[in-house]
Structures are given as C-alpha cells and as structure tokens.
Amino acid sequence: MKTKVLLVDDDISVHAALNGVLRGEGYDVIRAFNGHDAMERFHTHPGIDIVLLDLCVPVESGGDILERLNWSRPLLPVIIITALPDQEAAAQAVGVGALLEKPLDIPVLLQTMRALLAEPLEDGLARIAGQSPLRHRAISFC
C-alpha cells in the first residue's frame, strides 16, 4: 500500500511540482488548496501518513489546521513548507517534524519525509512534547 501524503498549499505551481515528484517516488498524494479542503480530505482519506503544510493558506489558517491535526493524531508527522523564516521556536513548541523553506530542496524534502515516516515511537513522543530538535529551520505562523 502506498504512503499517503496530504499536501496543503494554495500555490498551484507548488502543487504541480510536488505532486509530480512525490507520485514519481511512489507516494499517494492527496491535494488541498485551503484549510477547509485540508481538513475535509484528512477526514475522507483515512490513513494519511504524513502532511506537507504551508501555514499561509486561505479559509482556515495553517496554524489552525496544525492544531486540529495535532488534536486528532498527535504523532502524525507534519512538515511545514513556507517562504518566511525564523519561527522555529513556535514550530518546535507544537511538535512539528520539520521546517523547510521555499523554494524547496527536493532531495532534502524526500530525505526528511523518509526519516519522519521511519521515526521511532520514542522520538515521535519527544517531538510532540517539544523535546526534539527540529530537522530543518524556517517557518511562519501567518
């Protein structure tokens, strides 16, 4: 069974690029362009394994989405993808798995996804408790 990735970003070019790369790597990509769509797809596609989340999306903010995802599935790995830097303390406090700055370095993204998907339970618990260092830095809570 393919690994399911929820991709949340309002930029069509980001969707096109990441969808192609991730599908080429064998991932099943579930796409959402705003906060409402993200939560709808999260609930209608059970078994999402990892989330790529831009925090500056319309309708419902990425921060709100992150809070709801953390409430529903605290150990679900989330990688924040953003164009704005210097928010690692806030991100670490909410248990984000990684922070990647746009434009994305695709090999780093894929390596980070693999690492989070293979994350031992103890590391996931430390991450959500804010006790694990972030793998990459650069975030903005819009």
Protein fold of 4-128:
Rossmann fold (3.40.50)
- Tell me the domain boundaries of the chain: 4-128
Residue 131's pLDDT is: 67
Q: pLDDT tens digits, residue range 52-95?
A: 998 788 888 777 888 899 889 989 999 988 877 766 666 665 66
Percent of the chain with pLDDT over 70: 83
Residues in the chain: 142
Residue type at 132 in one-letter notation = S
Q: What is the mean pLDDT of residues 14-41?
A: 96
Tell me the whole-structure pTM to 2 decimals: 0.88
Q: To the nearest 10°, the Cα dihedral for 70, 76, 82, 85?
A: 70
Expressed in angstroms, the distance from the first to the final Cα of the chain is 35
